[in-house]
Chain A
Amino acid sequence: MAAPVLRLGCPGTRWALAWVGSGFHHRRGASIGSTSNPTREQSAVTQKPLHTAQKPRKGEHKWEAVVGLEIHAQISSNSKLFSGSQVCFSAPPNSLVSFFDASLPGTLPVLNRRCVEAAVMTGLALNCHINKKSLFDRKHYFYADLPAGYQITQQRLPIAVNGSLVYSVWGGKKRNQMVSRTVRIKQIQLEQDSGKSLHDDLRAQTLIDLNRAGVGLLEVVLEPDLSCGEEAATVVRELQLILQALGTSQANMSEGQLRVDANVSVHHPGEPLGIRTEVKNLNSIRFLAKAIDFEIQRQINELETGGEILNETRSFDCQLGCTVPMRDKEGKQDYRFMPEPNLPPLVLYDSTSLPAGADSQQVINIDQIRDTLPELPSVTRERLVQQYGLLPEHSFTLLNEVGLLEFFQNVIKETRAEPKKVANWVLNTFLGYLKQQNLAVSESPVSPSALAELLNLLDSKAISSSAAKQVFQELWSAEGKTAAQVVSEQKLELMQDLEALDRLCLSTMEGHPQVVMDVKKGNSRAINKLIGLVRKATLSRADPALIKDILEKRLRS
Chain B
Amino acid sequence: MGSKINELRGQKVSAALKQGQITPTELCRKCLSLIQKTKFLNAYITVSEEVALKQAEESEKRYKKGQSLGDLDGIPIAVKDNFSTSGIETTCASNMLKGYVPPYNATVVQKLLDQGALLMGKTNLDEFAMGSGSTDGVFGPVKNPWSYSKQYREKKQQNPHGESEDSNWLITGGSSGGSAAAVSTFTCFAALGSDTGGSTRNPAAHCGLVGFKPSYGLVSRHGLIPLVNSMDVPGILTRYVDDTAIVLDILAGHDPRDSTTVQEPVKSFILPTLTDVSKLCIGIPKEYLVPELSSEVRSLWSKAADLFESEGAKVIEVSLPHTCYSIICYHVLCTSEVASNMARFDGLEYGHRCDINVSTEAMYAATRREGFNDVVRGRILSGNFFLLKENYENYFIKAQKVRRLIANDFVNVFNSGVDVLLTPTTLREAVPYLEFIKEDNRTRSAQDDIFTQAVNMAGLPAVSIPVSLSSEGLPIGLQFIGRAFCDQQLLTVAKWFEKQVQFPVIQLPQLLDDCSLSLENEKLASTSLKQ
Contacts and interface: CB of A to CB of B under 8 A. Distances in A.
Nearest to A342: B229
A88 interface: no
Interface in A3-32: none
A338 B103 contact: no
A150 B226 CA distance: 15
Interface size class of A (residues with CB under 8 A): 20 to 34
B336 A103 contact: no
B222 A106 contact: yes
Contact of A110 (B230, B259, B387): B259
B340 A338 contact: yes
Interface stretch (B157-165, B341-349, B521-529): B341-349
Contacts of A329: 361
A103 B103 CA distance: 12
Interface stretch (A139-147, A171-179, A233-241, A313-321): A139-147
Interface in A293-334: 329, 334
Contacts of A105: 84, 92, 97, 102, 225-226, 344-345, 350
Interface stretch (B29-37, B180-188, B289-297, B388-396): B388-396
A102 B351 CA distance: 12
Given A108-B222, A108-B259, A103 B364 contact: no
* Listed residue (A102, A107, A150) with the most chain B CB atoms within 10 angstroms of its CB: A107
A106 B84 contact: yes
Nearest to B256: A110
B337 interface: yes
Contacts of A107: 222-223
Q: Dominant SS at the B interface?
A: loop
Contacts of A59: none
Contacts of B83: 106
Interface in A260-306: none
Contacts of A150: 340, 343
B364 A106 contact: no
A99 B349 contact: no
Q: Dominant SS at the A interface?
A: loop
Contacts of B7: none
B257 interface: yes
Interface size class of B (residues with CB under 8 A): 35 or more
B223 A148 contact: no
A138 interface: yes
Contacts of A342: 229, 258-260
Interface string B510-525: 0000000000000000
Contacts of A102: 349-350
A338 B387 contact: yes
B384 interface: yes
A104 B256 CA distance: 17
Interface in B102-118: 102-104, 106
Contacts of B97: 105
B360 interface: yes
Interface string A350-378: 00000000000010000000000000000
Contact of B260 (A138, A142, A208, A344): A344
Nearest to B348: A144
A105 B84 CA distance: 8
A107 B83 CA distance: 11
A103 B349 contact: yes
A339 to B, nearest CB: 8
B257 A104 contact: no
Interface in A95-127: 99, 102-111
Contact of B388 (A111, A208, A336, A343): A336
A341 interface: yes
B339 interface: yes
A337 B387 contact: yes
A103 B384 contact: no
A361 to B, nearest CB: 12
B18 interface: no
Given A111-B259, A142-B361, A341-B260, 19 more contacts: A39-B389, A99-B103, A104-B104, A105-B344, A108-B259, A108-B260, A110-B257, A110-B259, A140-B340, A140-B387, A142-B343, A149-B343, A150-B343, A336-B340, A336-B384, A336-B387, A336-B388, A337-B389, A343-B259
List 7 A-B pairs, minimum CB-CB distance, nearest first: A149-B343, A336-B387, A341-B229, A341-B230, A105-B225, A106-B223, A103-B344
24 contacts: A102-B349, A103-B349, A104-B102, A105-B102, A105-B225, A105-B344, A106-B223, A106-B224, A107-B222, A107-B223, A109-B259, A140-B339, A144-B348, A148-B343, A148-B344, A149-B342, A149-B343, A208-B348, A329-B361, A336-B388, A336-B392, A337-B392, A341-B228, A342-B260
